């Protein structure tokens, strides 16, 4: 057949990209995120000192302020703050991304079931989702981290923190997915698929879930920021893994000698702020770009 296919309109992702590209703060966020991902992947191979190394101590530098050799200064224990901040970027991004991946999977699954099915299943799932909203999650995260890292699962390190964060962090996505599924399941395209004989599984994961990816992507992006912040709090309070470089652990050590060495608190904190800011700006930008109500 020689006739050309009818020209298709731009896909919704192309439209979203075009809208995102015009959003300056969203682009700035994206650039910050790319920068941190680059630092996390390449940084550990480039910096002068390996993770958790006290080598500066042997060079006579301990508690020295920022200088050309040590741009972020040195901890009193002899850890070079610049190298450690870069090394920590890797681990903090790992926590943020891994926890987000797990919570997104759980959240979509639970939310879709809670929104699609009727009766007891839906009521119970909604109850569980709402329960995770009101319980003091951070307190329980700290408690879990303390008890399980010290006593039960030694050596799991950061992965344990990821699992704990994920266990307590999936309800936000689940709630949104539930609402959207509830809205979509009565719409014509789902009815049409149902009348063609599609089963529940196919309706849910072929027809409904692909149509709620936009809010899921936005919340997942914002969740990365949230998980990084939570991990920072956990490590800052001394509930994290003391053998893995994280920004929170640096801040924990810095707080111990904040009176003499302010630079140990300042620079890793700035890294957290800008990394989290990047994900938040990008999430906001995506939210504007993917929101059909704002489409002109």
Would you count residue 142 as binding other proteins (CB under 8 A)? yes
Which one of residues 137, 163, 213, 217 is an interface residue with other proteins (CB under 8 A)? 137
Residue 192 or 258: the one with the smaller Cβ distance to other proteins is: 258
Tell me which residues in 252-271 interact with other proteins (CB under 8 A): 254-255, 258-259, 262, 265-266, 269
Would you count residue 130 as binding other proteins (CB under 8 A)? yes
Binding piece for other proteins, criterion CB under 8 A, among 13-21, 49-57, 88-96, 234-242: 234-242
Which one of residues 34, 143, 187, 192 is an interface residue with other proteins (CB under 8 A)? 143
- Cβ count near 187 (within 10 Å): 12
Which one of residues 10, 105, 150, 192 is an interface residue with other proteins (CB under 8 A)? 150
What residues contact residue 257 under an 8 Å CB cut-off, 6+ apart? 63, 75, 76, 264
Show the 3-state SS of the chain. CCCCCCCCCCCHHHHHHHHHHCCHHHHHHHHHHHHHHHHHHHHHHHCCCCCCCCHHHHCCCCCCCCCCCCCCCECCCCCEHHHHHHHHHHHHHHHHHHHHHHHHHHHHHHHHHHHHCCCHHHHHHHHHHHHHHHCCHHHHHHHHHHHHHHHHCCCCCHHHHHHHHHHHHCHHHHHHHHHHHHHHCCCHHHHHHHHCCCCHHHHHHHHHHHHHHHHHHHHHHHHHHHHHHHHHHHHHCCCCCCCCCCHHHHHHHHHHCCCCCCHHHHHHHHHHHHHHHHHHHHHHHHHHHHCHHHCC
- Least CB distance from residue 288 to other proteins, whole Å? 10
Would you count residue 127 as binding other proteins (CB under 8 A)? yes
| Rounded CA separation 176/168 (Å) | 16
- Least CB distance from residue 197 to other proteins, whole Å? 34
Would you count residue 66 as binding other proteins (CB under 8 A)? no
| Rounded CA separation 175/93 (Å) | 25
How many residues interact with other proteins (rule CB under 8 A)? 44
Residue 44 or 172: the one with the smaller Cβ distance to other proteins is: 172
- Least CB distance from residue 33 to other proteins, whole Å? 12
- Least CB distance from residue 287 to other proteins, whole Å? 10
Binding piece for other proteins, criterion CB under 8 A, among 1-9, 43-51, 82-90, 123-131: 123-131
Residue 135 has which token pair? 């319980």
Would you count residue 163 as binding other proteins (CB under 8 A)? no
Residue 25 or 53: the one with the smaller Cβ distance to other proteins is: 25
Would you count residue 31 as binding other proteins (CB under 8 A)? no
Residue 245 or 280: the one with the smaller Cβ distance to other proteins is: 280
Would you count residue 277 as binding other proteins (CB under 8 A)? yes
Q: Which residues bind other proteins (CB under 8 A)?
A: 127, 130-131, 133-140, 142-144, 146-148, 150-152, 225, 229, 232-233, 236-239, 251, 254-255, 258-259, 262, 265-266, 269, 272-273, 276-277, 280-281, 284
């Amino acid at each position: 057949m020689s006739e050309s296919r009818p020209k298709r309109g731009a896909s919704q992702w192309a439209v979203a990209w075009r809208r995102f590209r015009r959003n300056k703060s969203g682009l700035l966020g994206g650039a910050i995120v790319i920068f941190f991902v680059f630092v996390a992947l390449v940084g550990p191979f480039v910096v002068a000192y390996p993770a958790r190394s006290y080598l500066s101590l042997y060079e006579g530098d301990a508690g020295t302020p920022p200088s050309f050799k040590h741009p972020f200064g040195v901890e009193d224990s002899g850890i070079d703050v610049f190298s450690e901040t870069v090394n920590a970027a890797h681990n903090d991004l790992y926590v943020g991304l891994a926890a987000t991946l797990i919570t997104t999977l759980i959240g979509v699954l639970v939310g879709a079931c809670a929104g699609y099915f009727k009766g007891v299943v839906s009521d119970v799932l909604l109850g569980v989702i709402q329960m995770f909203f009101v319980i003091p999650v951070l307190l329980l995260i700290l408690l879990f981290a303390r008890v399980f890292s010290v006593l039960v699962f030694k050596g799991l390190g950061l992965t344990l923190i990821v699992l704990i964060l994920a266990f307590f962090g999936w309800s936000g996505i689940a709630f949104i997915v539930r609402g959207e599924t509830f809205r979509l399941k009565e719409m014509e395209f789902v009815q049409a698929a149902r009348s063609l004989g599609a089963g529940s599984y196919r309706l849910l994961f072929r027809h409904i879930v692909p149509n709620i990816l936009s809010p899921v992507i936005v919340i997942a992006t914002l969740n990365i920021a949230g998980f990084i912040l939570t991990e920072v709090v956990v490590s800052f309070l001394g509930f994290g893994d003391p053998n893995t470089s994280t920004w929170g652990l640096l801040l924990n050590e810095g707080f111990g000698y904040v009176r003499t060495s302010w630079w140990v608190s300042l620079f890793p904190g700035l890294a957290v702020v800008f990394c989290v800011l990047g994900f938040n700006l990008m999430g906001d930008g995506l939210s504007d770009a993917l929101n059909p109500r704002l489409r002109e």
